[in-house]
Amino acid sequence: MMKTPVRAALALAVLCGGLSAGPAAAGGGGAETDASTWAHRAETSYRSLQQHLYQGPEQHGLYLEKTPRTQEENEHSYIWPLREAAAATVDLAELPEAGAHYKQDAAERFSTLRLYFNPRDGRPGYDSYLPAPLGQGGDVFYDDNAVVGLTFLDQYRSTGDELHLRRAAETFDVVGRGWDDDPAKPCPGGMHWVDSPDNYMRAANVTGLSAQLAAELYAIEGDERYLASAEKWYEWNWSCLRRSPGLYDNSRDDDGTVNETLWTYNSGAMIGTATTLYSATGDRTYLDRAVEDAAGSLAYWKQGERLHDQPAIFNAFYFDNLRILDEVRPAPDYRTTAAAYAERTWKENRTPADGLFRFQPSGGGDHAPEAQAETLHQSAMIQIFAGLAADPS
């Protein structure tokens, strides 16, 4: 099973995002594409990822950040692109017919992810770049660690291997260090972006994704400390960064300054967290909030080119979380929006010669034929296609 049915078995659910009526329609009626076509596109895009960005077993199963690699770039990718390649491979391993072919690849991804773990002096975590001997190391970004933990849970649900559950719990302990308990700051609380004394920002992405990790752990294990953290972290985003239904400002600085940039994945993390909390606790307030945020975010993101211009990887998060909600409270707009986006991106952003997706420097927008293709966004499109393949309607 894919993410969606696996999570559904735990009474969870997933999400889809929006696209404009004009350009989305130009994408070609994505909602009419059948599951086998989406699966074919996911597999085709994965083969291109492996051909052009995967560095092979002799390079520890690592990936390039971008192709073609320039001399100034690291030899291997940062952890975030690798995490997304892992998530994409888990999705492929859950495809109804072809999934068995990808299970060994998925297992390799998680061995490779562990290469980024640094047990450093009492403050362990997944570094942004490979520690020695394979690299120079990097900072512990709490958003990186939160999404790594979520992917361990996907693999745990797929395989039943308790090691992945233990490692997800380990990342929960890492991100928990990011909570700011200084009562003197404006809107006290929130999660730091990076484990550094120079951090000045409490971010929606870290706080929402960490809340989602805690909520999913609670749904599996029933440990009250996970529930307490999920509720506290979720409520901070709701109270301190929610601009309107479904829209969350990027961050709040220690001096109270708010970065009002909007991203689809911040909408998604809050919808997914609320739905998971509802499923795990039965508290109807969370479901009502999830539905309200889904409606508000779709109303915003479907306007003009907003969804098209978002980074592809952020849209992958958004659609995944809309499917979580759709399993609990179905609404056709969730899937049709994701399908329209996926159809358009397949037709307009893919370079047929190598099967790679290319975007503007932001990671979204119109096709940029001369741009480097990235592991991050190639993996995002695999996830989106595979999610549509596993969620026919």
The DSSP secondary structure of 361-377, one letter per residue, reads TTS-SS--TTSPEEHHH
The pair of structure tokens assigned to 268 is 């998604």
pLDDT at position 121: 86
Angle, helices 264-281 vs 204-221, to 10°: value is: 20
Say if residue 11's pLDDT is above 70: no
Could you give the CA distance from residue 19 to residue 339 in angstroms, rounded to a whole number?
9
Q: What is the pLDDT of residues 225-244, one digit of tens each?
A: 999 999 999 999 999 999 99
When the pLDDT of each residue in the chain is averaged and rounded to a whole number, the result is 92
- Give the torsion sign (CA, 315, 321, 323, 325): negative
Model pLDDT, residue 97: 87
Tens of pLDDT, residue by residue over 203-215, are 999 999 999 999 9
Residue 5 has pLDDT above 50, yes or no: no
The pLDDT tens digits for 166-200 are: 999 999 999 999 999 999 999 999 999 999 999 99
State yes or no: pLDDT of 10 exceeds 60. Answer: no
